[in-house]
A and B are shown apart, each in its own frame.
Chain A
Amino acid sequence: DSGVTQTPKHLITATGQRVTLRCSPRSGDLSVYWYQQSLDQGLQFLIQYYNGEERAKGNILERFSAQQFPDLHSELNLSSLELGDSALYFCASSVGGSRETQYFGPGTRLLVL
């Protein structure tokens, strides 16, 4: 158990819908990262927040957005969902914002029908 928690574990929804994934980092960690894992793309970095501010963006679609709250938990919002958004979404956290080891949460499996 890494200490990173994610909810929900599984999510099944329809195309066009909007969902919110939630992540609580390990105690003391200031950075939260979101990754998407699909069969064809592997693990891809989406976005990073550090102490409430966006630090870096990766291959994140415009339909997706995220934020980190004052208590350091983070939410990833996925809207206008498409079949291709079906994937495992991981949250990771680290103490600092760059070189530290990232610890991954258990992930949320999203299925878009």
Chain B
Amino acid sequence: EDKVVQSPLSLVVHEGDTVTLNCSYEVTNFRSLLWYKQEKKAPTFLFMLTSSGIEKKSGRLSSILDKKELFSILNITATQTGDSAIYLCAHNRGTSYGKLTFGQGTILTVHP
């Protein structure tokens, strides 16, 4: 069965700090890795990664995948209080169906 593990489970930083969130996976057939941000309710899509070594970037957030070492990282630079959320990593096996296997999430708290 596919397994996705995130670390750390919780992180508390001050505004302006840079954070790195980790996601490692053990899956049978890798297709894509996704990052979501969950604030009060619905997970919001951030990135989908399919190719190793190619960085995806959106403003202060960026993510990269290492298919050889089976992990991905999500970087947030110059953190703001609005970045406080649960960050979820998920694998999509995506063969004939689209089941997402999620990690347990990293709770990020950014203090002013």
Partner of B88, one of A2, A4, A43, A107: A43
Q: Give the shortest distance, in Å, between B107 (CB) and chain A (any CB).
A: 12
Number of A-B contacts (CB under 8 A): 76
Partner of B97, one of A92, A98, A103, A106: A98
Contact A43/B98 with A99-B32, A101-B48 known, Cβ cut-off 8 Å: no
Q: Are A58 and B42 in contact (CB under 8 A)?
A: no
| A4 CA / B42 CA spacing, docked (Å) | 10
Number of A positions contacting B (CB below 8 A): 30
- Separation of A7 and B32 alpha carbons in the complex (Å): 30
State whether A2 touches B44 (Cβ < 8 A).
yes
Q: How far is the CB of A75 from chain B (nearest CB, A)?
A: 19
- In the complex the two chains form, what is the Cα distance from A20 to B6 in whole Å? 33
Residues of B within 8 A of A (CB): 31-32, 34, 36, 41-45, 48, 88, 90, 92, 94-105
Enumerate 28 A-B pairs (CB-CB under 8 Å) in ascending A order: A4-B42, A31-B98, A33-B98, A33-B99, A35-B100, A42-B103, A42-B104, A43-B43, A45-B100, A48-B98, A55-B98, A56-B97, A56-B98, A56-B99, A90-B42, A90-B43, A94-B98, A97-B98, A98-B31, A98-B95, A98-B97, A101-B48, A102-B34, A102-B92, A104-B42, A104-B45, A105-B42, A107-B41
